[in-house]
């Protein structure tokens, strides 16, 4: 049979992160072929893809076991039929971010810290993503909007921390990041910069010496919050980039989402924390699923979540235990689910 698809991008030491970012796998048929999955999954994948497009970068694809439809990493990226179902309580803007959206590109919900949506782009489309319906088009952070954001930050001395979010903020260029950081550094009351990113996990090539030196040269105390959900997402490469970040004085944390069929198992969560620590990363949050339309099949109910967490607590030292939390709109902080 003729294969009409391009092969997945072959990676060597010269493959740039920009190449990897622009050559993601976006076609369900290609994904199924590359991963040697049963052809029966194609139709469902196409249905899900029409809701929220398939997108997976090659380095992440390479961590998925071929021929295993139950692979926990595959489940995070393979579109399925169930995503098209309307389930009561699962909505397009589960965190009511639209109402906290004072300015384009800026979300100020909590005291002292402000979230900035740098870009709608991501290297991967996680099926459970709470921003799968977010109107990024209306939140374009162009030069004009950026000046407004700077003014907002400048005028509010209670803000000490800026959080780069997205999409994935590291999907933008080093030049843009460096310029934004330089602009922010001129605001005296800002002291911390936080970057929420999944790229070091799904496209580790993004963490270049050039990028690291931007953070190293900043006057800000810098925190990077990665996003890994399963121990298979962490490998030697993760440890290597974390040590680069640490030598640039960056604190490296991880947040996960509790996902049915991915990590709703105490052994998996335990191994995740241990592997994170081995790679130099501390667990920060374990979030319950935000009720976003199309992701109901990932939900773990609260009772089970609390039970899992209770068991996890007996197996791990306190410093390896993430906080089990969720975001409830209108609350002044994340809400912890355990005492
Ligand atoms: C989650 C979130 C933060 C960060 O909360 P922390 O508890 O400090 O990690 C800040 N702003 C917004 C809008 C958020 O959703
Ligand atoms: S990386 Fe984060 S923002 Fe991007 S699709 Fe995944 S969960 Fe959503």
Give the separation between CA 203 and CA 124, rounded to whole angstroms. Answer: 9
The DSSP result for 218-230, as a single string, is -SSEEEEEEE--S
Give the separation between CA 167 and CA 123, rounded to whole angstroms. Answer: 9
- Cβ pair 231, 268 in contact under 8 A: yes
Domain with 106, as residue range(s), is 97-336
The verdict on 201 and 68 lying in the same domain is no
pTM, two decimal places: 0.96
The verdict on 164 and 23 lying in the same domain is no
Dmax over CA atoms of the chain, in Å, equals 65
The verdict on 189 and 270 lying in the same domain is yes
> How much distance in Å is there from the Cα of 203 to the middle of ligand 2?
13
Which of 168, 171, 233, 295 best tests ligand 2's pocket when mutated (most atoms within 8 Å of CB)? 168
The verdict on 154 and 252 lying in the same domain is yes
- Cβ pair 257, 285 in contact under 8 A: no
Q: Which residue's CA is minimally distant from atom 8 of ligand 1?
A: 113
> How much distance in Å is there from the Cα of 193 to the middle of ligand 1?
13
**Final residue in a domain of this structure, among 84, 110, 134:** 84
- Does some domain include residue 143? yes
Q: Which residue's CA is minimally distant from atom 3 of ligand 2?
A: 167
Total count of domains within the chain: 2
- Nearest-CA neighbor of 187 among 214, 213, 222, 152? 152
- Does some domain include residue 187? yes
The verdict on 283 and 159 lying in the same domain is yes
The verdict on 73 and 153 lying in the same domain is no
- Tokens encoding 319: 């410093």
The verdict on 75 and 112 lying in the same domain is no
pLDDT of 11 reads: 82
- Does some domain include residue 8? no
Interior angle at CA 233, CA 231 and CA 236, nearest 5: 95
- Alpha-helical (H) ranges within the chain are 17-22, 28-34, 41-51, 58-61, 74-77, 143-155, 174-185, 199-202, 209-216, 236-247, 266-278, 302-315
Pairing label, strands 106-110, 113-117: antiparallel
DSSP summary character for residue 177? H
The verdict on 229 and 310 lying in the same domain is yes
- Cβ pair 323, 284 in contact under 8 A: yes
Q: Closest ligand to 334 CA?
A: 1
- Cβ pair 321, 312 in contact under 8 A: yes
pLDDT of 250 reads: 98
**Final residue in a domain of this structure, among 84, 105, 140:** 84
Which residues line the pocket of ligand 1, CB cutoff 6 A? 107, 109-110, 113, 115, 163, 327, 333-334
CB proximity list for 270: less than 8 A, separation 6 or greater: 312, 315, 316
The verdict on 129 and 271 lying in the same domain is yes
- Does some domain include residue 92? no
Which residues line the pocket of ligand 2, CB cutoff 6 A? 122, 124-126, 129, 131, 166-168, 198, 227
pLDDT of 1 reads: 45
- Tokens encoding 35: 């991963």
- Does some domain include residue 3? no
The verdict on 158 and 188 lying in the same domain is yes
**For the domain that residue 271 is a member of, what is the CATH number?**
3.20.20.70
Averaged pLDDT in 10-residue chunks for the chain of 339 residues: 59 91 97 97 97 96 98 98 95 77 85 95 95 73 94 98 96 97 98 98 98 98 98 98 98 98 98 98 97 96 97 98 95 92
The verdict on 32 and 171 lying in the same domain is no
The verdict on 143 and 290 lying in the same domain is yes
pLDDT of 12 reads: 85
Cα dist. 313→44, 276, 325, 337 in Å? 38, 16, 14, 13
**Final residue in a domain of this structure, among 30, 61, 84:** 84
- Does some domain include residue 12? no
> How much distance in Å is there from the Cα of 222 to the middle of ligand 2?
21
């Amino acid at each position: 049979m003729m294969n009409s698809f391009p092969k997945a991008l072959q990676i060597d030491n010269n493959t740039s992160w920009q190449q990897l970012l622009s050559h993601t796998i976006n076609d369900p048929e290609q994904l199924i072929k590359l991963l040697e999955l049963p052809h029966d999954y194609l139709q469902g994948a196409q249905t899900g893809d029409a809701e929220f497009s398939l997108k997976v970068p090659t380095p992440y694809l390479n961590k998925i076991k071929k021929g295993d439809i139950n692979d926990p990493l595959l489940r995070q990226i393979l579109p399925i039929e169930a995503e098209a179902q309307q389930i009561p309580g699962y909505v397009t803007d589960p965190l009511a971010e639209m109402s906290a959206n004072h300015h384009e590109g800026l979300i100020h919900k909590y005291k002292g810290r402000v979230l900035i949506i740098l870009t709608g782009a991501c290297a991967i489309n996680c099926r459970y993503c709470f921003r799968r319906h977010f109107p990024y088009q209306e939140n374009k952070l162009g030069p004009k909007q950026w000046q407004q954001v700077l003014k907002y930050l400048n005028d509010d001395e209670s803000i000490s921390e800026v959080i780069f979010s997205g999409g994935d903020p590291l999907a933008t260029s080093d030049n843009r990041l460096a310029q934004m950081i330089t602009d922010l550094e001129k605001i005296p009351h800002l002291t911390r910069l936080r970057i929420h990113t999944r790229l070091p996990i799904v496209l580790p090539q993004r963490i270049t010496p050039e990028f690291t030196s931007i953070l190293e040269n900043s006057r800000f105390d810098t925190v990077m919050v990665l996003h890994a959900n399963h121990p298979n997402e962490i490998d030697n490469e993760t440890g290597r980039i974390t040590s680069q970040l640490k030598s640039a004085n960056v604190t490296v944390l991880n947040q996960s989402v509790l996902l049915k069929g991915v990590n709703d198992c105490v052994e998996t969560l335990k191994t995740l924390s241990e592997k994170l620590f081995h790679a130099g990363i501390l667990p920060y949050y374990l979030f319950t699923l935000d009720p976003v339309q199309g992701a109901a099949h990932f939900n773990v109910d609260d009772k089970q979540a609390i039970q899992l967490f209770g068991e996890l607590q007996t197996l791990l030292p306190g410093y390896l235990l993430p906080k089990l939390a969720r975001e409830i709109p209108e609350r002044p902080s994340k809400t912890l689910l355990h005492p």
